[in-house]
Amino acid sequence: MTTHGRRTSVAALMCALATTHCAGSGDSTPSNDEASPELVRTDAGPVRGAIHDEHRLFQGIPYAAPPVGPLRWRAPEPAAPWTEPRDATRPGSPCPQAPTAYSPIGSVDEDCLTLDVTTPRSVDPERLRPVMVWLHGGGEATGAGSVFDARRLAVGGDVVVVTINFRLGIFGFFGYPGLDGSGTFGLQDQQAALRWVQRNIAAFGGDPGNVTLFGESWGAFAASAQLTSPDAAGLFHRVALQSGFALADYPAGTFYPGLPALPPFWSPAAEVQATGEALASEQGWVEPASETDVALERLRGAPVDELLPHTARFVMPAFGGAVLPESPAEALRAGRFHRVPVLSGATQDEGRLFVALFYELAGASVTEQRYRELLAEAFGEAAEQVEARYPIDAYGSPALAWAAVITDRVWWRATHEQSLSLAAHTPVYAFEFADRDAPAAVPAPEGFPLGAHHASDVVYLLDFVGEPSGLAPEQQRLSQQMIACWSQFARAGDPSRPDLPPWPQFRGDDAQYVQSLAPGDGGIRNVDVVAEHQLDFWSTL
C-alpha cells in the first residue's frame, strides 16, 4: 500500500418592512435594518432569521452555489441571487458523509455550502463587533458547522460567530490527473465563506476588518493550512488552534491497532491524483485511457452513494498547487505564513479518546503484554526507554499508559513545535485545557477515566444544537472565563483581561510555559508543559 493509502485509511439598504421584497431597487449593498433586526440584506439577497431573548440567529445562508453536477470538484461559484426574503430559520444540509461511531450525522446532499450567523440581539450600526469563524472537526470526513450552537459565545463574548459547512472527504479532497484544484476543494469552500464574511458581515453587525478563524481538531488543522495559503491572505486577522496537528507524525498504532506509522497528514497533489485515478479505474467509473474531460464528466455523474464508501481515502489536503504551494508543515516550520496573532493549544489528555474508542470500546483492550507490543511496534529499539518513562504503575493501567504516550509523543510534541515555529514570527498565546472532569465525548470504558480528552474543550465555548453542555457550576465558570479569553483574543489579538488571571505571551526563555485552563480557584495558571509531557525526552528520539 502506498504512503498516501496508509494515511487516508484512517464556512443597499435593507427593505424597511419585512413584507417588502426589494425587487428592482438596483442596490445590492448588504445592510441591516434597526427596525427589523430579523431581516438582513446580503449581496445575494435578503434573509430573515430568528430573534431570541438575547441573540439573533440566521441559518442556512448560501455562501456559494451548490457544488452539484458540473460544479462537483470545482472551485466554489457565487450563489445565485434572490429578491424575496429567504427563510434563514433552519440550518442547511450537512455535506455528504456517512455516520460513524463518533458522529451520528448522515447526508447525501451535495447542496450544502451554507453558513449560520449568530449575533447578540442588540444592533448598533456605530459599533461593529469582532467576528469569529468556526471550522468544525471530524477528521475531514464527518461533521457540520450547523450542529454547533454559538449563542453562549456570541452573547457572552459580545462577538458575531459564523459557523460553516464545507465539502468533506471525497467531495472536498478528491484528486484526478488534470483536475484543477485537486485535493483542495474543502479549503476553497472555507475561503469562499471567508470572502462572504468580508462582503456581508457588516450587515449583521460584524467587523470585516477583525475576523478570527478558529477551529478544533481537523478544523484547527485546516486553519493551519489557511495560515499558509496565499489565497487566504487578508481574509482573517487572528487564528485560534485547538488540538490541531499540522506538524504531527504518527507512530504505529497511534489511532487504532494495526495502523502503520504515518507522516504528517499533507499529501503531494500527484499522490492524491494517482489515488483518484486508481479508484476511478477500480470502480469502473472511467473507461481506460479516457480523455481527461470525458473522465471528469463521468466522475461528476457518479451517484453520491457510490462515492461515499471511499471518502476515507481523501481526507488530507493536497499541496503543490495554487491553494497550497507547499506542505503547510514545512511552510510553518520555515516561517512562511500570514503574520497574524495565534492562540494555540491542546488538551491535557488528548490520546485517551482514541484509546477509548478504538481500543477499549472496540474489544482490543490494552493489556500489560499488549502495551509492550504496542511500544515495540511504535518505537522499535527505543521501546524500553519509552516504557521506563511511562511505566504502567505511574498511570494505573496499561491503557492509560499507552494513552499518555500518544498524548505526549503525537499531540503535545507537535503542538509545542508549532507554537515555537509561530512564535518566532508572530505573537502566540499558548494553552492547555486541563479539566479532567470534562463531560465525556464518548461512553467511558470501565476503569478508564477520559480526563481532559480530545475535543473535551469544545463545549466550554460552543454547544451542540439541542444538547445541554452538561457543565457543573465550577465548569460553567471556566466556560465563561474561556469565552472571555477567546473573545478578547478576537477583539485585540491578546486573551488577557484585567478581570482574569494574567496570560503571558509564549516566547523566549519561557516558551515551555503555557496557560492551564481548569475549574476552581487557581485553575487558570501557567504550567510547564515541557516537563508535564516529557517533551525533552521526545526530542531525543
Active site residues: 217, 350, 454
Backbone angles phi, psi at 73, to 5 degrees: 55, 45
3-state secondary structure of 270: helix
Distance, C-alpha 49 to centroid of its chain: 25
**Closest C-alpha among 214, 215, 425 to residue 337:** 425
Adjacent-strand bridge partners of 162: 117, 133
Q: Any residues with CB less than 8 A from the CB of 359 and at least 6 apart, and which?
A: 256, 257, 365, 366, 399, 402
Residue 267 region by backbone torsions, left for phi larger than 0, else alpha for psi between -120 and 50, else beta: beta
CA distance 407 to 8: 21
Cell 452555489 belongs to residue: 65
The C-alpha torsion from 228 through 231 and 232 to 234, rounded to 10°, is 120
Distance, C-alpha 328 to centroid of its chain: 15
Q: β-strands 206-216, 238-242: how paired?
A: parallel
3-state secondary structure of 226: helix
CA distance 167 to 169: 7
Quote the longest CA-to-CA distance of the chain: 76
**Closest C-alpha among 402, 428, 403 to residue 345:** 428
Cβ neighbour number for residue 425 with a 10 Å cutoff: 15
DSSP conformation class of 511: T
**Closest C-alpha among 401, 437, 402, 430 to residue 416:** 430
Cβ neighbour number for residue 23 with a 10 Å cutoff: 11
**Closest C-alpha among 101, 10, 99, 98 to residue 443:** 101
Q: β-strands 39-41, 46-48: how paired?
A: antiparallel
Please provide the size of the chain in residues: 541
297-313 as b/e, with b when 16 or more CB fall inside 10 Å? eebeeeeeeebbebbbb
| DSSP letters spanning 141-199 | TS--GGGEE-HHHHHHHT-EEEEE----HHHHH---TT-TTTT-HHHHHHHHHHHHHHH
Q: Which helix (H) or strand (E) holds 6?
A: helix 3-9
User: And the C-alpha cell for 58?
Assistant: 440566521
Per the CB < 8 A criterion, the answer to whether 138 and 174 are in contact is no
User: And the C-alpha cell for 449?
Assistant: 477515566
